[in-house]
Structure 1
């Protein structure tokens, strides 16, 4: 009789909607960092990641007393490798889900955090790009918000669209700044993983991380989230301007509800788990915004700042053939562009404008399976 492999049993349950956990030796090593033998034995009695399990259910399945179950689950809860809602427990996919909470909390040993970081970074480069990462109209998790001063500096009115709908609240980061007075920044888990792996990001440090607006900002402080710090409105504005100057993308959950109005990531194209892996196969990891950059070739000096800043490598310099150089221009690979506005906000020549080219409306509440992204982080 073959021995029961509880790590494999649990791996198969780490699936939520379109998110899966591939069978791979490095994922197995990751699971062994997250859970010891006693913990994985109990977790093998959990349902899949879309199912919340009561103590009574776990007692009936495992044969363990309730007090022992609670004791075994205490450490995984503390580290963020499982979730709890009320009195019920559940599993989460390895990313997003465990990834964010595990590194946000950083309550494991430094040795384990570093080992997990190296494995995750390897997965970003070797495994995730080979998954079915292509974004389509049926499902996507993130879409970029336009830069803070987009309305004043880079939006060009498109007469094909009603003026009132040129920039809607769920399309710009400015809505968060106007709506709230208190904000917080926490460590970027993706760039933290890069730093722990010995391959730090050259665009921005991990401290220039995710942005939270409103009451949830204090929750980050109270919860001891790694790197959490409060910002007032002026500080928040300066912080956002600096992220944009660095070339970071404001990636928000693709919905028009509270998820996109209180939280977004500041993503680089070289380490972000959303942008980087699909880009290796020339695909977009985020849904396109409703905007696309347009160049005024007369104003453009071909300095290549836009090309260097673009997180998607969606811009290239077309050198001239004509003797008068009139055919020289910066060219956009539209299939790679996510419409983030990084190119436009960093153009000192003011040669790039963001023009509304589509009017895709996000759902009221985006879910991954039966959970929202915010619920997966709690």
Structure 2
């Protein structure tokens, strides 16, 4: 009789919808960091991600005592490698999900955090088959910078006359509809720092913006830094000046009002594969930059700031050129142009789904399961 490998059993249960836990040596290494042999044996009796199990059911299925089961579950929940809902427990996706919660809270040993960081960094930098996330799953989208509506946006005359700037297309929507904010460290750049490859654009402390109840809770737990409305506006401006892209869930139902990432192209688990591997994880916005050549001073700051390397300088014609095939319409070039020579034109009317689900839950719900 073939002996069952509990790590393989758990690995197979960690995939949900477009999120995968590929059969790869790095994935097995990651699982061994998260869970020791006894815990993984217990977890092998868990159902697939998205479903829950009770302690009493685990007692019936395993040889562990109730005391042992509760001890192992309590430790795993504290490390944010599984989640608890009422009196039931469940597995969560490795990315996004466990990745964010594990590094936001940092409840594991420094040694394990470093080892896990090195593996996640490897997964972000290398194409493994199947990928951790399906390459055509449009999970995120960029939001235009603060003050875009007043300073940066123009409507293309070729777009349907009914077109208008929609609140969910702008980062200021999170500001306008909330009063409480907090900043949590960027998990992607933290992984770089822990693995000896820090980001040169911004530190991990310049991380995600959370609002509302989530901001209060994470600040209360000591995982986040509280901000008032004015401080949140200033913070977003600082991230834009650094060259970070505001990225939110690719939906319009309100998820973007609670959690926004501020992303770099060198470490972000969504932006980096979108740039380097041509994945479609970050769907371009409905906007594209337009350069006024009469106002442009050829300072090349836009070229330096562009996260997608979509801007170049043509020496023969002495002008900046935008490659619209590479551009994601984030507006970082426009917000950083000191001559105000770049405007953002609305060229499309794509409307995202109201809710973007990964399996049976949204990205934010998967994360909330672990953090709350």
- What TM-score do you get using the length of structure 1 for normalisation? 0.92
Distance 2:195 2:158 in 1: 48
In structure 2, the partner of 1:155 is 153
The correspondence of residues 233-252 of structure 1 with structure 2, limited to 5 A, is 233-252=229-248
| Range with bigger deviation, 55-64 or 42-51 | 55-64
Distance 1:182 1:271 in 2: 28
Please say if 1:104 is aligned against 2:104.
yes
Q: How far 1:288 sits from its partner (Å)? A: 1.0
The correspondence of residues 252-331 of structure 1 with structure 2, limited to 5 A, is 252-320=248-316, 327-331=317-321
Task: Please give the per-residue CA displacement for 1:84-106, whole angstroms capped at 9, x wherever unaligned.
Answer: 22222111221111100100110
Matched residue SS, 2:175:
helix
1:142 to 140, 143, 147: 140
- CA 1:135/1:20 → structure 2, altered by over 3 Å: closer, same or farther? closer
Distance 1:110 1:250 in 2: 30
In structure 1, the partner of 2:55 is 55
| Range with bigger deviation, 16-25 or 84-93 | 84-93
Q: How far 1:223 sits from its partner (Å)? A: 2.7
| Range with bigger deviation, 86-95 or 103-112 | 86-95
Matched residue SS, 1:293:
strand
Question: 5+ unaligned residues in a row in structure 1: which ranges?
Answer: 321-326
Matched residue SS, 2:313:
strand
- CA 1:310/1:29 → structure 2, altered by over 3 Å: closer, same or farther? same
Matched residue SS, 2:358:
coil
Distance 1:373 1:130 in 2: 20
In structure 2, the partner of 1:17 is 17
1:213 to 189, 211, 214: 211
Q: How far 1:63 sits from its partner (Å)? A: 4.7
Question: 5+ unaligned residues in a row in structure 2: which ranges?
Answer: none
Distance 2:210 2:226 in 1: 9
Task: Please give the per-residue CA displacement for 1:239-292, whole angstroms capped at 9, x wherever unaligned.
Answer: 111000001011001111231111110000110000112322244430111111
In structure 2, the partner of 1:323 is none
1:372 to 351, 362, 369: 362
Alpha carbons 1:129, 1:277 under 8 Å: kept: no
In structure 2, the partner of 1:83 is 83
Distance 2:298 2:129 in 1: 32
Tell me the C-alpha RMSD between the 2 structures. Answer: 1.9
- CA 1:333/1:241 → structure 2, altered by over 3 Å: closer, same or farther? same
- What TM-score do you get using the length of structure 2 for normalisation? 0.93
- CA 1:334/1:60 → structure 2, altered by over 3 Å: closer, same or farther? farther
| Range with bigger deviation, 265-274 or 63-72 | 63-72
Matched residue SS, 1:345:
helix
Distance 1:344 1:135 in 2: 28
Alpha carbons 2:21, 2:132 under 8 Å: kept: no
Matched residue SS, 1:96:
coil
Matched residue SS, 2:320:
strand
Matched residue SS, 1:95:
coil
Alpha carbons 2:18, 2:133 under 8 Å: kept: no
1:223 to 212, 218, 221: 221
- Give the paired residue count: 368
Task: Please give the per-residue CA displacement for 1:328-370, whole angstroms capped at 9, x wherever unaligned.
Answer: 3222222221111001111112121111111111222111011
